[in-house]
Amino acid sequence: MNVAGRDSGAIEFDAAELTTFDVAEDGSVARIGVKDASGRCASLTLPVECLSALLMTLPQMVKVALQCRHDDPSVRLVYPLGGYSVETARGSDQVILTLATPDGFEVAFALTAGHRRELIDAFQDDAWRALGRVQ
Protein backbone atom coordinates (compact mmCIF):
# COMPACT_ATOMS: atom_id res chain seq x y z
CA MET A 1 0.00 0.00 0.00
CA ASN A 2 1.34 3.39 -0.88
CA VAL A 3 1.00 5.08 2.52
CA ALA A 4 2.48 8.28 1.08
CA GLY A 5 -0.49 8.46 -1.30
CA ARG A 6 -3.05 8.55 1.50
CA ASP A 7 -5.27 11.59 1.75
CA SER A 8 -4.00 13.43 4.83
CA GLY A 9 -7.50 14.71 5.54
CA ALA A 10 -9.09 11.24 5.47
CA ILE A 11 -10.17 9.46 8.64
CA GLU A 12 -8.04 6.33 9.05
CA PHE A 13 -9.44 3.20 10.70
CA ASP A 14 -7.60 -0.11 10.40
CA ALA A 15 -10.37 -2.70 10.59
CA ALA A 16 -9.53 -6.17 11.87
CA GLU A 17 -12.96 -7.69 11.27
CA LEU A 18 -16.36 -7.07 9.74
CA THR A 19 -19.09 -7.14 12.37
CA THR A 20 -22.50 -6.31 10.93
CA PHE A 21 -24.39 -4.80 8.07
CA ASP A 22 -27.71 -3.02 7.87
CA VAL A 23 -29.75 -1.91 4.88
CA ALA A 24 -32.15 1.05 4.95
CA GLU A 25 -35.80 0.06 4.63
CA ASP A 26 -35.99 1.76 1.24
CA GLY A 27 -32.78 0.05 0.06
CA SER A 28 -31.08 3.36 -0.68
CA VAL A 29 -28.06 2.89 1.63
CA ALA A 30 -26.25 0.17 3.55
CA ARG A 31 -24.04 0.40 6.60
CA ILE A 32 -21.06 -1.90 7.12
CA GLY A 33 -19.85 -2.34 10.69
CA VAL A 34 -16.18 -3.01 11.47
CA LYS A 35 -14.01 -3.45 14.55
CA ASP A 36 -10.29 -2.77 14.94
CA ALA A 37 -7.77 -4.96 16.80
CA SER A 38 -8.39 -3.15 20.10
CA GLY A 39 -12.17 -3.65 19.85
CA ARG A 40 -13.15 -0.13 18.75
CA CYS A 41 -16.12 -0.12 16.39
CA ALA A 42 -16.84 2.03 13.37
CA SER A 43 -19.21 1.93 10.44
CA LEU A 44 -19.23 3.00 6.83
CA THR A 45 -22.52 4.00 5.19
CA LEU A 46 -22.70 3.76 1.42
CA PRO A 47 -25.44 4.46 -1.13
CA VAL A 48 -26.45 1.40 -3.15
CA GLU A 49 -24.62 2.77 -6.21
CA CYS A 50 -21.35 2.71 -4.25
CA LEU A 51 -22.08 -0.83 -3.05
CA SER A 52 -22.42 -1.94 -6.64
CA ALA A 53 -19.10 -0.28 -7.54
CA LEU A 54 -17.48 -1.86 -4.48
CA LEU A 55 -18.76 -5.28 -5.49
CA MET A 56 -17.16 -4.87 -8.90
CA THR A 57 -13.87 -3.65 -7.35
CA LEU A 58 -13.39 -6.20 -4.54
CA PRO A 59 -12.48 -9.22 -6.72
CA GLN A 60 -9.62 -7.29 -8.36
CA MET A 61 -8.45 -5.96 -4.99
CA VAL A 62 -8.34 -9.49 -3.54
CA LYS A 63 -6.61 -10.87 -6.65
CA VAL A 64 -3.88 -8.22 -6.55
CA ALA A 65 -3.41 -8.62 -2.78
CA LEU A 66 -3.06 -12.41 -3.04
CA GLN A 67 -0.68 -12.17 -5.97
CA CYS A 68 1.49 -9.71 -4.03
CA ARG A 69 1.34 -11.78 -0.85
CA HIS A 70 2.43 -14.95 -2.66
CA ASP A 71 4.67 -13.24 -5.24
CA ASP A 72 2.81 -15.25 -7.89
CA PRO A 73 0.76 -13.64 -10.68
CA SER A 74 -1.27 -16.83 -11.20
CA VAL A 75 -2.75 -16.89 -7.67
CA ARG A 76 -6.43 -16.12 -7.38
CA LEU A 77 -9.21 -16.66 -4.89
CA VAL A 78 -11.25 -19.69 -5.93
CA TYR A 79 -14.44 -20.90 -4.27
CA PRO A 80 -16.01 -24.36 -4.44
CA LEU A 81 -19.26 -24.51 -6.38
CA GLY A 82 -22.15 -25.32 -4.09
CA GLY A 83 -24.88 -25.05 -6.69
CA TYR A 84 -26.22 -23.17 -9.66
CA SER A 85 -29.49 -22.15 -11.21
CA VAL A 86 -30.51 -21.16 -14.71
CA GLU A 87 -33.60 -19.06 -15.29
CA THR A 88 -35.07 -16.96 -18.04
CA ALA A 89 -34.70 -13.21 -17.87
CA ARG A 90 -38.11 -11.61 -18.12
CA GLY A 91 -38.56 -9.69 -21.36
CA SER A 92 -35.26 -10.88 -22.83
CA ASP A 93 -33.79 -13.76 -24.80
CA GLN A 94 -30.99 -13.97 -22.26
CA VAL A 95 -30.85 -16.41 -19.38
CA ILE A 96 -29.56 -15.76 -15.88
CA LEU A 97 -26.89 -18.16 -14.65
CA THR A 98 -26.45 -17.95 -10.88
CA LEU A 99 -23.44 -19.66 -9.29
CA ALA A 100 -23.41 -20.23 -5.53
CA THR A 101 -20.88 -21.38 -2.96
CA PRO A 102 -21.82 -23.88 -0.23
CA ASP A 103 -21.95 -21.02 2.31
CA GLY A 104 -24.47 -18.98 0.30
CA PHE A 105 -22.38 -16.47 -1.69
CA GLU A 106 -24.02 -15.99 -5.09
CA VAL A 107 -23.18 -14.19 -8.30
CA ALA A 108 -25.46 -13.99 -11.33
CA PHE A 109 -24.56 -13.53 -14.99
CA ALA A 110 -26.76 -12.68 -17.97
CA LEU A 111 -25.96 -15.05 -20.82
CA THR A 112 -26.73 -14.48 -24.48
CA ALA A 113 -27.36 -17.39 -26.83
CA GLY A 114 -23.75 -17.04 -27.98
CA HIS A 115 -22.45 -17.33 -24.41
CA ARG A 116 -24.56 -20.44 -23.86
CA ARG A 117 -23.20 -22.08 -27.02
CA GLU A 118 -19.61 -21.25 -25.99
CA LEU A 119 -20.13 -22.77 -22.53
CA ILE A 120 -21.73 -25.90 -23.95
CA ASP A 121 -18.89 -26.30 -26.45
CA ALA A 122 -16.26 -25.71 -23.76
CA PHE A 123 -17.56 -28.55 -21.57
CA GLN A 124 -18.55 -31.10 -24.23
CA ASP A 125 -16.45 -34.22 -24.34
CA ASP A 126 -12.80 -33.27 -23.79
CA ALA A 127 -13.04 -29.76 -25.23
CA TRP A 128 -12.47 -28.30 -21.73
CA ARG A 129 -8.91 -29.68 -21.82
CA ALA A 130 -8.06 -27.10 -24.50
CA LEU A 131 -9.04 -24.20 -22.25
CA GLY A 132 -6.29 -21.87 -21.03
CA ARG A 133 -4.34 -23.23 -18.12
CA VAL A 134 -3.06 -21.28 -15.13
CA GLN A 135 0.71 -20.92 -15.50
* Confidence at residue 89, expressed as pLDDT on a 0 to 100 scale: 85
Q: Which of 49, 70, 91 is the last residue of a domain?
A: 70
Helix/strand/coil for 56: helix
Tell me the DSSP string of 26-51: TSSEEEEEEEETTS-EEEEEEEHHHH
CB atoms within 10 A of CB 97: 17
**Domain with 35 in it:** 13-70
What confidence category does residue 128 fall into, taking pLDDT thresholds of 50, 70 and 90?
A: low
Is pLDDT at 105 greater than 90 in this prediction?
yes
Q: Which of 70, 92, 109 is the last residue of a domain?
A: 70
Helix/strand/coil for 125: coil
Residue type, 116: R
Beta strand 95-100 with 83-88: parallel, antiparallel or unpaired? antiparallel
* Confidence at residue 134, expressed as pLDDT on a 0 to 100 scale: 46
The verdict on residue 66 lying in a domain is yes
Is pLDDT at 108 greater than 80 in this prediction?
yes
Q: Which of 24, 45, 70 is the last residue of a domain?
A: 70
- Please indicate whether residue 131 or residue 60 has the higher confidence score (pLDDT): 60
* Confidence at residue 80, expressed as pLDDT on a 0 to 100 scale: 95
Does one domain contain both 63 and 97? no
Q: What is the mean pLDDT of residues 108-122?
A: 91
- For 11-64, the pLDDT digits (tens) are 889 999 999 999 999 999 999 999 999 999 999 999 999 998 999 999 999 999
d(CA 41, CA 30): 16
